[in-house]
Amino acid sequence: MQRPVPPLQGGCGVILRLILGDQLNINHSWFHEPAKNVEYVLMEVREEATYARHHIQKIAAFFGAMQSFAEDLRSRGFAVRYLTLDDPESRGSFGATVKSLLDSGRYDGFEYQAPDEYRVREALAETARRVKVRTQVVESEHFLVEPAFFQKVFAGHKRYTMELFYREVRRRYGFLMEDGEPIGGRWNFDAENRKKLPASAAPPPPLTFARDVTSIVDRVRRAKIPSIGSIAPTAFGWAITRGDALQVLDYFCRELLPHFGSYQDAMHTDHRFLFHSRLSFALNVKLISPREVIEAAIEAWRGSDGAISIEQIEGFVRQIAGWREFMRGIYWARMPEYRTLNFLEAARPLPHYFWDGDTRMNCVAHAVKQSLEESYAHHIQRLMVTGNFAILAGIDPTEVDAWYLGIYIDALEWVELPNTRGMSQFADGGIVGTKPYTSSAQYINKMSNYCSGCFYNFKDKFGERGCPFNTLYWDFLMRHQEKLEKNPRIGMGYRQLDKMAPADRTAIKQKAAEILDQIEEL
Ligand code: FAD
Ligand code: DLZ
Ligand code: SF4
C-alpha cells in the first residue's frame, strides 16, 4: 500500500537518498534513525528490468523485496517514495529519473550508496555531474572487505588466487581460527566436498514462502517487459524480506549445514536444491549480511557437539568469505575491460535449448528446465553442466553472460561476470581460475544420476549415441592446444591425448565437427 510522502519542502536542505534494488540493508547507517529532511526513493525502472532478458521470478523478487523494504522503512518513520514501473515520475532509468526528481527543485542534495555494478556506478556518476545539487556517495556497508583489501593482498603477486585471499579474510575476521591457525589444521577441506548423493539420501525440502506477487507480475506484463521462465504468482517461494532471509538461514543451519560440504558438488534429478542454502538472492540484495550468515553457521557448527563436521562448515565459509568476496575483488580490479575478454575466441551462438531445455542431453535438459522453473541452479549445475557445455562447444561468452545474467535470481554483474566469463568460460585466460573447468561425461556421471537416464551413452565418444561432452572435451583440447598445453594444470589431458591413436584423434575431430554442425539438434 502506497502511503503519502510527508511534505518535505525544498530549499531547506531536503536530501534525496536513492536506494537501489540490491541495497536493501536495514542495518546501513542511513537507517539508524529517521533523519529530518531526508527523503528516500526506490524506483522500478525499465532499463534495469530490460538490460538482460530476466527470469520473471527474478523481476518479481527484486520488485517484491524493494516494496517490502519501502514498507518496512515507512513503518519505522522514514519518508519514502516508491516509484512503480508505471509511475509517471519513473523516467525509464536511474539516471533520468533521479535527474528529473532533482530538477523539480524539491531537493537540495542527492546521496546514494556506491553501486556494485560498473554500469550503474558510471551512470550515477554521470548523473551526479549533471545535476546542480550537492552529491555524496557512501559505502553500502555490506561486504566483508573492500576492493583496496583485495589489491593489498595481491600487491607484488603475479596472479590472483582464491586460496591466498580466503586465508587473509579468515585471518582478518578470525573465522574458524584458533591461535592464528585454521581450526582442523587445514585451511581447505575441498577434497572432502565431492561426494555423490547416495541413493538412500533424502535432502530436506527447501524452506519456501507463499507470497502473492500477482500485482507485480501484472505490472511487468502490462509494461511489456520481456522475461523468461515461469512463476506461480500467488505462492512465490523465495525469501524477499529480511525476516524470510533469517528464517532461511536458521533452516539452513539446522537442516542443511550438517551435509552441505559433503554434497556440495552433487547433482540429482529428484533434488534440485540438495543441501544448498538458497541464500544468494537475499545476500546479493543485502537483506542479510555475509558476516551474519557466516557467524550463524559457525555458531551452529560449534553448538552441534561434533555432529556437524569441520568439512561442512569450512566448505560453506569458503563460498562466502572466499569465493563471493574474491569474485567482487576481481570484478573491480578488472572492469571495464573484463566484460570484453574472449581468450578462446569463442563465437558460436547459444543453442535454443538454453532457452527451452529441449535437448536429448539429459544433464543440460535438467539444468535448464530447473532454471526456467526455479530461476535457480546450484553451483555445479551452472559450472559443470551448462557452463561446461558452453565452453566445450565454443559459445560466444557474451551470449553466455547474457543468459546467466538473466536466468538466475541472484544474478548481478559483479558476481555473475567473474563466475561466467572467468571461472566457467575461461574467457579471461586464467585471471579467476588457473585452468578451464571442462570435463567429459565421466565427471557428470560421477557426481549425478543424469547419465543413467540419457539418450546418449556416457561411455562413448565416437558412435551415434556417443555423449557430446566426451567428443567435445577431447576436441576442445586439440582445438586450443596452442593456448593451453603449457598450462601445467591441464597437462594430464594433453598427456592422455598424446597416447591416443592418431586414427582416434581424427575420428574425434570428425565427430566433433558433426556435433557442432548440428548443435541445435543435440
Ligand atoms: P550455496 O551453495 O548455499 O552457497 C552459499 C553462498 O556462497 C551463496 O549464497 C553465495 O552467496 C556464495 N557463493 C557460492 N559460490 C559462489 C561463487 N562461485 N561466487 C560467488 N558467491 C558464491 N552467484 C551469484 O550470487 N550470482 C550469480 O550471478 C552467479 N553466477 C554464477 C555463474 C556461474 C557460471 C557459476 C559457475 C556460478 C555462479 N554463481 C553466482 C555462484 C553460485 O552458483 C551461486 O552463488 C549459488 O549457486 C547460489 O545458491 P545458494 O545460495 O544455494 O548457494
Ligand atoms: C535486477 C533489477 C531489476 C530487474 N529491476 C530493478 C529496478 O527496477 N530498480 C532497481 O533499483 N533495481 C533493479 N534491479 C537491481 C539493479 O539492477 C541493481 O540494483 C543495480 O544494477 C545496481 O547494482
Ligand atoms: Fe549429459 Fe552425456 Fe551424461 Fe547425457 S551422457 S547426461 S549428455 S554427460
Residue 1's pLDDT is 40
Looking at all shown ligands, the one closest to residue 223's CA atom is 2
The count of C-alpha atoms lying within 13 angstroms of the C-alpha of 74, restricted to the half-sphere facing its C-beta, is: 17
Please write down the HEC assignment for all residues of 327-351. HHHHHHHHCCHHHHCCCCCCCECCC
Task: Provide mean pLDDT across the span 259-280.
Answer: 93
**Torsion (CA) 363, 366, 369, 371 in degrees, nearest 10:** -80
| Ligand approaching nearest to the C-alpha of 437 | 1
CB 80 within 8 A of CB 70: yes
pLDDT at 44: 97
For residue 2, name the pLDDT band (cuts at 50, 70, 90): very low
pLDDT at 360 over 60: yes
| Amino acid 12: pLDDT | 62
**pLDDT at site 262:** 87
CA of 448 from ligand 3 middle (Å) equals 10
* Residue range 26-53: mean pLDDT, rounded: 95
Of all protein residues, the one whose alpha carbon is nearest to atom 41 of ligand 1 is 379
How is residue 367 annotated by DSSP? Answer: H
Predicted local distance difference test score (pLDDT) of residue 11: 54
Please, how many CA atoms are within 13 Å of residue 184, restricted to the half-sphere of its CB?
18
Q: What pLDDT does residue 192 have?
A: 75
Q: Mind spelling out the 3-state secondary structure of 138-186?
A: ECCCCCCCCHHHHHHHHCCCCCCCHHHHHHHHHHHHCCCEECCEECCCC
Single pTM value for the model: 0.95
Per-residue pLDDT tens digits for 326-339: 999 999 999 999 99
Does position 315 have pLDDT exceeding 50, yes or no? yes
Q: Whose CA is nearest to atom 6 of ligand 2?
A: 48
274: left (phi over 0), alpha (psi -120 to 50) or beta: left
Per-residue model confidence as pLDDT tens digits over 69-124: 999 999 999 999 999 999 999 899 999 999 999 999 999 999 999 999 999 999 99
Confirm or reject: Cβ of 268 under 6 Å from ligand 2.
no
pLDDT, tens digit, for every residue of 212-237?
Answer: 999 999 999 999 999 999 999 999 99
Distance 415 CA to ligand 1 centre (A): 8
> Would you say residue 296 has pLDDT above 90?
yes
The single-letter DSSP state of residue 457 is: B
Q: What is the pLDDT of residue 35?
A: 83
Atom 29 of ligand 1, residue of closest alpha carbon: 416
361 lines ligand 3 (CB under 6 A): yes
Report residue 201 CA to chain centroid gap.
27
Q: What pLDDT score was predicted for residue 38? A: 96
pLDDT band at 3 (very low <50, low <70, confident <90, very high): very low
Confirm if 325 and 144 have CB atoms less than 8 A apart: yes
Identify residue 99 by its one-letter amino acid code.
Answer: K
- Chain-wide mean pLDDT for the chain? 94
* Interacting residues of 142 by C-beta distance below 8 A, sequence separation 6+: 25, 286, 289, 290
Ligand positioned closest to the Cα atom of 353: 3
Q: How far is the CA of 380 from the centre of ligand 1 (A)?
A: 10
CB atoms within 10 A of CB 54: 27
Q: Cα(21) to centroid of ligand 2, in Å?
A: 5
Q: Does a cis peptide bond (omega within 30 degrees of 0) precede residue 336? A: yes
Ligand 1 center–CA 77 separation, angstroms: 35
Q: Which residue has the cell 565459509?
A: 317
pLDDT of residue 463: 86
Contact in structure between 100 and 106 (CB atoms under 8 Å): no
The ligand whose atoms approach the alpha carbon of 443 most closely is 3
Indicate if ligand 1 lies below 6 Å from the C-beta of 411: yes
Q: Does the structure show a pLDDT above 70 at 504?
A: yes
The answer on pLDDT for 9 being more than 90 is no
As a whole number of angstroms, the distance between CA 193 and CA 165 comes to: 20
> Residue 273 has which C-alpha cell?
536444491
Q: Which SS3 state, helix, strand or coil, does residue 370 take?
A: helix
Give the pLDDT confidence score for residue 200 in this predicted structure.
Answer: 84
Q: Measuring from atom 17 of ligand 2, which residue has the nearest CA?
A: 48
Are 456 and 361 within 8 A, CB to CB?
Answer: yes
147-198 pLDDT, tens per residue?
Answer: 999 999 999 998 999 999 999 999 999 999 999 999 999 999 877 777 888 8
Does ligand 1 come within 6 angstroms of the Cβ of 331?
no
324 lines ligand 1 (CB under 6 A): yes
Instruction: Give the position of cell 514501473.
Output: 85
Q: Is 428 in the pocket of ligand 2 (CB under 6 A)?
A: no
List the residue whose alpha carbon is closest to atom 48 of ligand 1: 280
Cα-to-centroid distance, 363 and ligand 3 (Å)? 6
Ligand 3, atom 3, residue with closest C-alpha: 451
